């Protein structure tokens, strides 16, 4: 075995994965080659020191553990599917879906004309938004929120959301409090918490993809179809603008979610 072969096998040698025959051959080479021996020794040394330093760093996972325990107790025999994967861009299909959805909405509104058209099955992404809102806003899970205006803008832009978007809703009766990113149904959403002075509510933003919004349409505001769902004590009102998918989660009895969504439909 030569120096090249030893170098190639070093990762397996250091992790103890070489079979006895090859391990013996490496050992034999090392005994006769001080240069390879010294190289291997310094690698092993650096590995040990790296492990000691990085594994020794303080990592506090208590917030994560509390969160997952709470989630598990919410879905003890869970089989909730994540939101279906985003379809590839299909402009024609998308226009068709939007057109169909619009016609469906108009027909439904004409036929029903009432609020709270609730599907018996709440879409997983809405259920995830409600659970997230309950844990992180209603129950105040200890999380790293951003409060700084510039940092919030940067966070939004990193997600393909215009920096002004979170602040567009922070006018009139509403004030932006804090923001962070979160996963809902396996996708990243930009989560912003607003208050009207007495109650807090959540708005989840995401750069719009090709996917249509799940759920039943409720009304059309400023050309945007607004969907509503209720789950427990919360209401989710969602809409899509040209660039954004938006979900508002608030206490269902306050009626705030729909008002905020109407405000968003006009402002964005």
Partner 1 sequence: MNERQNEFESIAIPQSRSLLRVARRLTFDPAIAEDLVQETLLRAWRSFDQFQPGTNARAWLFRILFNVFYAQGRKIRSSPVVLPLQMPGRAAERHSSTNCSLLDSAMLSAALDDLSEEHRTVILLAVVEGFTCRELADILGIPIGTVMSRLGRARQTLRESLTPSAPKLFRAQASAK
User: CA 251 to CA 175: how far, in whole Å?
Assistant: 17
**Under DSSP, is residue 205 helix (H, G, I), strand (E, B) or coil?**
strand
| DSSP line for 76-92 | TT--PPPPPPPPPP-HH
Q: Which residue lies nearer to partner 1 by CB, 49 or 199?
A: 49
In whole angstroms, the minimum distance from the beta carbon of 219 to partner 1 comes to 31
Residue nearer to partner 1 on the CB measure, 41 or 95: 41
For residues 144 and 198, which CB has a smaller minimum distance to partner 1 in the complex?
Answer: 144
- Cα distance from N-terminal residue to C-terminal residue, the chain: 68
Cβ closer to partner 1: 16 or 113?
16
- Contact criterion met (CB below 8 Å) for 211 and 87: yes
Q: What is the smallest separation between the CB atom of 202 and partner 1, expressed in angstroms?
A: 15
Which chain residues interact with partner 1 by CB under 8 A?
A: 3-4, 7-12, 15-17, 35-36, 38-39, 42-43, 45-47, 49-51, 53-57, 59, 61, 63-65, 67-69, 71-73, 75-80, 82, 143-146, 151, 154-155, 158-160, 180-183, 186-188
Task: Give 186 or 232: the residue with its C-beta nearer to partner 1.
Answer: 186
Who contacts 86 (Cβ-Cβ below 8 Å, separation ≥6)?
209, 210, 211
For the CB of residue 254, give the shortest distance to partner 1 in the complex, in Å.
Answer: 27
**Rounded least distance, CB 141 to partner 1, Å:** 10
Question: What residue spans of the chain are helical by DSSP H?
Answer: 3-14, 20-32, 34-55, 62-74, 91-111, 124-133, 149-158, 165-168, 256-267
The minimum distance between CB 181 and partner 1, in angstroms, equals 6
């Amino acid at each position: 075995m030569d120096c090249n072969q030893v170098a190639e096998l070093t990762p397996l040698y250091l992790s103890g994965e070489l079979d006895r025959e090859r391990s013996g051959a490496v050992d034999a080479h090392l005994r006769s080659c001080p240069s390879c021996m010294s190289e291997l020794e310094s690698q092993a040394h650096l590995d040990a020191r790296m492990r000691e330093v990085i594994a020794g760093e303080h990592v506090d996972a208590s917030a994560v553990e509390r969160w997952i325990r709470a989630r598990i107790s919410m879905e003890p025999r869970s089989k909730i599917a994540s939101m279906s994967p985003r379809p590839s861009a299909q402009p024609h299909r998308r226009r068709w879906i939007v057109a169909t959805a619009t016609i469906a909405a108009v027909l439904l509104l004409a036929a029903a004309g009432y609020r709270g058209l609730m599907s018996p099955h709440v879409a997983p992404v809405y259920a995830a938004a409600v659970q997230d809102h309950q844990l992180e806003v209603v129950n105040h899970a200890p999380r790293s929120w951003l409060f700084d205006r510039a940092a919030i803008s940067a966070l939004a832009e990193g997600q393909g959301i215009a920096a002004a978007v979170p602040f567009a809703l922070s006018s009139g009766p509403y004030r932006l409090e804090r923001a962070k990113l979160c996963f809902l149904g396996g996708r990243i959403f930009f989560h912003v918490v607003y208050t009207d002075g007495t109650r807090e509510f959540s708005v989840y933003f995401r750069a719009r993809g090709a996917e249509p919004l799940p759920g039943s349409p409720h009304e059309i505001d400023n050309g945007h179809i607004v969907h509503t769902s209720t789950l427990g004590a919360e209401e989710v009102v969602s809409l899509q603008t040209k660039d954004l998918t938006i979900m508002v989660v608030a206490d269902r009895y306050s009626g705030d979610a729909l008002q905020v969504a109407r405000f968003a439909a006009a402002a964005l």
